[in-house]
Amino acid sequence: NAGVTQTPKFQVLKTGQSMTLQCAQDMNHEYMSWYRQDPGMGLRLIHYSVGAGITDQGEVPNGYNVSRSTTEDFPLRLLSAAPSQTSVYFCASSYRGDRVGYTFGSGTRLTVV
């Protein structure tokens, strides 16, 4: 069982470039989310999905797009990277009604220069 797999682990982008952060889970979890972690800010929810074809915005959605075409995959797209998007991004998944919360991936460290 691989759990939640995020790729790439590290990425450097130039301002204005676009890219997709990949997230895949093999636990057949219905719920998936993207968080960003910034120093002194904790983890903030970007977008989430409660099932294939269903997504919604979290606390800090601007500048990011998501889609959920399959249960397994939940990619996060940066449309036009900005230095303010320099952060560590975590993908997480959970069963519906799971009482132990989300399982997190190991993160993608993104630097926008």
Partner 1 sequence: DQQVKQNSPSLSVQEGRISILNCDYTNSMFDYFLWYKKYPAEGPTFLISISSIKDKNEDGRFTVFLNKSAKHLSLHIVPSQPGDSAVYFCAATSRGGGSNYKLTFGKGTLLTVNP
Chain residues binding partner 1 by CB under 8 A are: 4, 31, 33, 35, 40-45, 48, 50, 58, 90, 92, 94, 96-107
Of residues 17 and 75, the one with the C-beta less far from partner 1:
75
Structure tokens at 95: 């069963």
Q: Which of 86, 63, 76 is nearest to 33 (CA)?
A: 76
Output the smallest distance, CB 15 to partner 1, in A. 25
Output the smallest distance, CB 101 to partner 1, in A. 5
CA distance 90 to 107: 5
Of residues 14 and 99, the one with the C-beta less far from partner 1:
99
Of residues 10 and 14, the one with the C-beta less far from partner 1:
10
Of residues 13 and 46, the one with the C-beta less far from partner 1:
46
> Which residues, 6+ apart, have CB-to-CB distance to 109 below 8 Å?
9, 10, 11, 88, 89
Output the smallest distance, CB 99 to partner 1, in A. 7
Burial letters 56-78, b for 16+ CB under 10 A, else e: eebebbeebebebeebbebbbeb
Output the smallest distance, CB 19 to partner 1, in A. 20
